[in-house]
Amino acid sequence: MSSKNRFNDVPALSEIDGAGASLLVVLTVIFYFAAFRPLLDRQRSEVAQQHELEIQRIKAEQASLGLQSARDHLASIRGAISDSPQKLAPVRALNDRLAGITALATAGGLDLADIRPGVVAAAAHYTTVPISLVGTGRFQDCVRYVHELHQRFSDTTVTALRLSGNPEDPASSSFQFELRWYAAPERTTGTAPQASLPR
């Protein structure tokens, strides 16, 4: 048998290669979809979950630090309040406060015609009592009185001030001060405190 006939009986190399390559491609596709792709998807899912878990852990740490900072700030404020020399007097000390306000005005050269407390208003940490003063006095004395009132009674603020005067007679200028006294917290609200006009 000649060598030429022997080569004719054997399939062409390109046919074998094509069939093998096709089989290899089919097996690769089957392996990819059956084993490798689910494994790849699971790995991607685990990476995404780990990333999300890390984000949540960072957020939890930040929230914990924020909460601790707020607690420290609250403790600092409470400490400052307890260490503060300003202690609010109870509303029942209203007569004493009115007497002090009146004595300060008289010593400052003001002539009070009326001093009247208003309706008590309670808040969480204090109670406010509006106090109205009406009288006469010189402008300079009124200014000095407001300054001395702040120095002597730091828990009392001036919320409004009205002055009207006569240029020919400065001593007859009239004034009206609206004050607000901050007292210790009270349980009852909306009732006018019982007070008598100090003499």
Q: What is the mean pLDDT of residues 102-109?
A: 93
156: β partners: 181
* pLDDT at residue 8 in the model: 55
Long-range contacts made by residues 4-13, C-beta under 8 angstroms, separation at least 24?
none
Kindly state the tokens that stand for 157.
């603020």
Is residue 101 a contact partner of residue 179, using CB atoms and an 8 Å limit?
A: yes
- pLDDT reading at 82 higher than 90: no
Kindly state the tokens that stand for 95.
């007569």
**CA proximity to 92, closest of 196, 197, 194:** 194
* pLDDT at residue 79 in the model: 76
pLDDT band for position 85 (cuts 50, 70, 90): low
* pLDDT at residue 178 in the model: 95
**Can you give the residue ranges of every domain in the chain?**
1-84, 91-183
State residue 117 phi and psi, 5-degree precision. Answer: -80, 150
Architecture of domain 91-183: 2-Layer Sandwich (3.30)
Give the rounded percent of residues in the chain with a pLDDT score beyond 70. Answer: 73
For residue range 137-174, what is the model confidence (pLDDT) as tens digits? 888 898 899 999 999 998 999 999 898 877 777 667 89
- pLDDT reading at 196 higher than 70: no
pTM, 2 dp: 0.53
Note the residue count of the chain: 199
Phi-psi region of 114 (alpha: psi -120 to 50; beta: other; left: phi over 0): beta
Per DSSP, the residues of 34-102 read IIIHHHHHHHHHHHHHHHHHHHHHHHHHHHHHHHHHHHHHHHHHHHHHHH-S--PPPGGGHHHHHHHHH
Angle at 73 between CA 68 and CA 79, to 5 degrees: 125
DSSP, collapsed to helix, strand or coil, labels residue 152 as: helix
Range of lowest pLDDT (12-26, 156-170, 179-193): 12-26
* pLDDT at residue 124 in the model: 81
DSSP, collapsed to helix, strand or coil, labels residue 12 as: coil
Give the rounded percent of residues in the chain with a pLDDT score beyond 90. Answer: 29
